[in-house]
Structure 1
Amino acid sequence: MVPEPVLTSTHALVSVAPRPRPEDAWGLAPLIAGAPSYRLGRWIGQRFQYPRPKNAPKITRSLPRHPAAVMVHGTDGRVSTLCLDFDTSKALKGVVDSDAVRVGRLLSECGVRFVEDFSPSGGRHLYVPLHDRMDAAEARELVEALALMATSLDPSPHQNITDGCIRVPGTAHKSGGHQTLITPLSQAYDILRRRNPASALLELRSALAPELTRKRALKARAAKTVAEQRTGILPALPLNAGSEAPLRKVARTGLYDTARYKGPSEARMAVLNHFSACGWSLQDIENELTGQFPGLAALYGTPQRQARLLPYEWTKAQSLTSNQTLQKRLPRKHRKKSAPINNTSPTLTTGGAGKLSSAGVQQLVNDLENVLYAVLDHRLQARGRQGLSLRLLIRGLLGYMRAKETDVLDVGCRTLAVAMGKHHVTIARLLPVLVAASDGILTKVMDARHKAADVYLIQLPEQYQQLARELAWRKGKIHAIRPVFRALGDATALVYEAIERGRHSPTTADLVRASGVSRNACSAALAEMEALGMVQRQGHAWKTTTVNLRMLAARLGVMDDYLDQISRNRNERAAWHAYLDRFRTPKVEETDLFDLERDEYWIPPDDAAIWHAA
């Protein structure tokens, strides 16, 4: 008989033979469990739980009649199987299936074999047997790293050493039915008997390097927050208070507020309006449906429905948001540079001979880059850690200069802080230092007033003009802090730039001289970037790879901090503008004091009328 494909399974083909009986599938329990015992589940209040019994029953050949779960950890605190629980309580079933397929594909690419089953509620389990028992902390780190790339993955079985448990194939479900084995029984038995060697886990760790780095950073931040709360520096706040936008959470999980949206159609349109207002394209949406936003795809139900409705709904979302953002998103060369003839409104500026052309600005930026690499970088290196920030700040200003095609910048500290990944107070402190250290390249020409920011002029001083002409322009674009380097640090950004924009493939010694960082910092940055797949070593030289830095930043969790900073800046800016509006003197028109259609002039009464009124 011809095998049939199972699209919702990570195993591509299964036999058409009937599913194994629950009693037969239960025979795999001793090979999955971390300890030879299980717990029976029961309702406690409104929750179905697996309480700790006084004497835990041993795993035998007979299938428990009631819902049962085996222990993940052994008495030694180690695990023999990684248990990945994809739960429908965390996301829609479509997201659960998508996450299981994605994680299963990753495991297969790393040479890791696993067993798979599904529950009557739509959840999925993947069991990764280990040849050598693993410490609980190490197993938890791996599972939590996988949870960062799969929204519906519940890491709680590995987060509790004493009570972590999971239902295995064949066990009864609380709502009826049994846990059904997807992997053929003979194949599952072979996988659980042979198990996965340590080399396969090393390959998996290498593939999960961005997620592991992100998880360690989150733990360090949480520990720092707890320490500051204990000392009274910070108020007591919940550590799990996230800053993710509600609509992006809907796109990620597919779960929406039924009190706000009547159904999936309204929730989809709200998400699409959000992405349209943020400047996304239809291609970006389609790429992320199988990436970080599978919940949006699950809201469509079927791929056929998605293919039919997505273009139509995206066009509708664009028409709703284009009126407010069209002029803002148009390139500068397509915008109107003059106002129509109108006697009731002032004419807009049209430019003049004193303004640099677009090509002139680009040439000026290229010349300033030569001066930066040849002179200014070496001067700022002597300032230590502050010099790193100053070097990246001048790069950010040159990047804005190239993007805005002007040598006069009125960029606020908060905008620069978002580009630099730093606090706006730090930017405000660094700007005057950079003006003094730039030797005439950066000059402040106007102070901030009301809602307008400080105005700076960027120019090429006369003493550097000959040097700029003699040096050849470098390839590529100059950047301040690209999102991925928010997690990796300033020194790593400079080392990567030295490799990316170098005139030849540099060695480690060349990178130390070009980047201006210490040998130890350079070696640590290279090791970290090599682990993340950003650079590779060929002989003694270093080269960049084709890795997508934007996708890597998303895997490192940088975009959450980026959106949080933008939201915080928006709120602070709105509060400042509201404060300024309190001191605005409104213009009072004559019509506000007198009504022209009402006769307010009256003749004073005579003396007789006064005495009569008295």
Structure 2
Amino acid sequence: MSIHGPDGRVATLCLDFDTSKALKGVVDSDAARVGQLLFACGMRFVEDFSPSGGRHLYVPLQDRLDAAEARELVEALALMATSLDPSPHQNITDGCIRVPGSVHKSGGHQTLITPLSEAYDVLRRRNPSRGLVELRSALAPELARKRALKAREAKIVAAHRVGGLPGLPLTGGSESPLRRVARTGLYDTARHKSASEARMAVLNHFSACGWSLQQVQGELTGQFPGLAALYGSAERQGRLLPYEWAKAQAFTSTAASTQKPLPRKRGEKSALINNTSRTLTTGGAEKPSSAGVHQLVNDLENVLYGVLDHRLQARGREGLSLRLLIRGLLGYMRAKETDILDVGCRTLAAAMGKHHVTIARLLPILSAASDGILTKIADARQKAADVYLIQLPDQYQQLARELTWRKGKIHAIRPVFRALGDPAALVYEAIERGRHSPTTAEIVRASGVSRNACSAALAEMETLGMIQRHGRHWKVTALNLTNLAARLGVLDDYQAHIGRNRRERAAWHAYLDRFRDGHVNEIDLYDAERDEYWLPPDAEPAIWFAA
């Protein structure tokens, strides 16, 4: 049946969940999840299944919908459902779907799941337009992500045309094989002979990246339903998952213990182990206590909000990045419980969603503008990063003690703000860490963001459900920002960023190895086929740093 009419409009949204895109278990879970979303939006639908295991959902509409609007909705739904094939709505002239009762190409017929009397009633009393309004509101993150992807592709295409660079890819990189297995359940039989081997490969990688069993179980119904489908049934999953997870942990711990440290040249002395390790003291200084570091961070936050923020606001756009960079350093300082940081620019860049060259340019500027708070004490050498000391200068001691500590944690760029931008991060912080629910004018003053940028950020975050307005005052909601970041596609961007950092580090280490002896350790090897780092999901991560 053709989906589009002669005028190019549609009277029914046709959602095709295909087993060629994911395993049947993923198809069933996707159809159930999308069905629950439609029901929550007050929309009724008709459902059927095919002999191949696929499913169709038909959503009849009272008012015919333009093809572009229908395509946008279906493509947004495809971002949250792996097995959903949006192609029927992507072709105005030839887009079609097999309706209930139709003969299937593999034999058999499309079978109606919805009772016939109920299906007749749904088709006769079609969904009003208010259901589409609710659906668009529920799919706001996916719609924003799709628009951003299209804008990025259009920008790249335009750059290729102007620069004469035909044939270059439009995206930052392809999806890693193990991530695709975890998402769809489909695996390369040349690499994994059975579903059991594919499961163990994914679990080994989760274990190596620091995930816990609870985090893995939580994502089986989230972004990685394919891993659950590889078990075949819930009973088998409950029985095998703890056992296979224990095997994965044993394997990764054994592999880590067999790695040998890099050999040191004779006569060479260094207080640094690698570019992300804690600095070793060289004598005369003791490691500050955990409570002392946390108190120091709290005092530095008071100085940041009372003095440094206002000083950096005068630097315009550069000031936004500097303010977030100092927040990132304080967050890393609290997480690692140390006042001496030797964090590489690429690690900071991945945490903040910026280019490492930008971070390298901003660090000296921040050190000069911090009035003694951030001080460089050692230069980078070989694989070691620059070393910085964070301290509370004498001139700010009294100010830090007089001001009251603020509630909550300090953050740099949390995952979701890689998509929403720096102004939105500061606006959200002003609401989240304010001593009371602020008005728009108070947010402008507290965040140091222009009125127009603040209003735009508030409107966008309200649409995404991150904040809500009560009269003239704004409050944050209980929305999980990590889940929202996944829906906005930020996790894929972070994955690509980490992969790029690994490749660049591997090239740099290979260059350094030219000046060493011929011995090669396992830790020096880089496997281009290995999947990149996956960050474990947290309810509210303080700051993102790669291991």
Q: Give the TM-score normalised by the residue count of structure 1.
A: 0.79
Would the aligned equivalents of 2:153 and 2:171 in 1 still touch at CA under 8 Å? no
Q: 1:395 to 1:326 in 2, by over 3 A?
A: farther
Q: 1:579 maps to which residue?
A: 511
Give, as a single letter, the amino acid of the residue that structure 2 aligns with 1:90.
Answer: K
| 1:341-352 alignment runs, 5 A limit | none
Cα deviation 1:224-253 (Å, max 9, x = unaligned): 111111122756223367432211110110
Q: 2:283 and 2:197 mapped to 1: Cα distance?
A: 46
Q: 2:473 maps to which residue?
A: 541
Find the partner of 1:120 among 48, 51, 69: 51
Would the aligned equivalents of 1:91 and 1:152 in 2 still touch at CA under 8 Å? yes
Find the partner of 1:203 among 98, 120, 134: 134
| 1:24-63 alignment runs, 5 A limit | none
Give, as a single letter, the amino acid of the residue that structure 2 aligns with 1:237.
Answer: L
CA RMSD of aligned residues (A): 1.8
| 1:98-497 alignment runs, 5 A limit | 98-232=29-163, 236-239=167-170, 242-324=173-255, 353-497=285-429
Q: Which has the higher contact order (CA 8 A, sep 6+)?
A: 2
Would the aligned equivalents of 2:45 and 2:57 in 1 still touch at CA under 8 Å? yes
Would the aligned equivalents of 1:474 and 1:501 in 2 still touch at CA under 8 Å? yes
Would the aligned equivalents of 1:80 and 1:129 in 2 still touch at CA under 8 Å? yes
Find the partner of 1:553 among 485, 490, 496: 485
Q: 1:580 and 1:234 mapped to 2: Cα distance?
A: 33
Would the aligned equivalents of 2:172 and 2:496 in 1 still touch at CA under 8 Å? no
Q: 1:173 and 1:579 mapped to 2: Cα distance?
A: 58
Q: 1:439 to 1:551 in 2, by over 3 A?
A: same
Q: CA deviation at 1:357?
A: 1.7
Cα deviation 1:338-361 (Å, max 9, x = unaligned): xxxxxxxxxx86986543222111
Structure 2 counterpart SS, 1:533: coil
Q: 1:513 and 1:281 mapped to 2: Cα distance?
A: 42
Q: 1:501 maps to which residue?
A: 433
Q: 1:235 to 1:356 in 2, by over 3 A?
A: farther
Q: 1:236 and 1:229 mapped to 2: Cα distance?
A: 8
Unaligned runs of 5+ in 2: 260-279, 520-547
Q: CA deviation at 1:87?
A: 0.4
Q: CA deviation at 1:324?
A: 4.6
Unaligned runs of 5+ in 1: 1-69, 329-347, 588-614
Q: CA deviation at 1:583?
A: 2.1
Q: CA deviation at 1:263?
A: 0.8
Q: 2:318 and 2:377 mapped to 1: Cα distance?
A: 24
Q: 1:149 to 1:565 in 2, by over 3 A?
A: same
Give, as a single letter, the amino acid of the residue that structure 1 aligns with 2:506.
Answer: A
Give, as a single letter, the amino acid of the residue that structure 2 aligns with 1:426.
Answer: T
Find the partner of 1:520 among 437, 442, 452: 452
Q: 1:327 to 1:111 in 2, by over 3 A?
A: farther
Q: 2:209 and 2:160 mapped to 1: Cα distance?
A: 35
Q: 2:484 and 2:417 mapped to 1: Cα distance?
A: 10
Q: 1:75 to 1:524 in 2, by over 3 A?
A: same
Q: 1:291 to 1:326 in 2, by over 3 A?
A: farther
Structure 1 counterpart SS, 2:315: coil
Larger radius of gyration: 1
Cα deviation 1:457-489 (Å, max 9, x = unaligned): 111111111111100111111111000000000
Q: 1:327 to 1:391 in 2, by over 3 A?
A: farther
Matching of residue 92 in structure 1 with residue 51 in structure 2: no
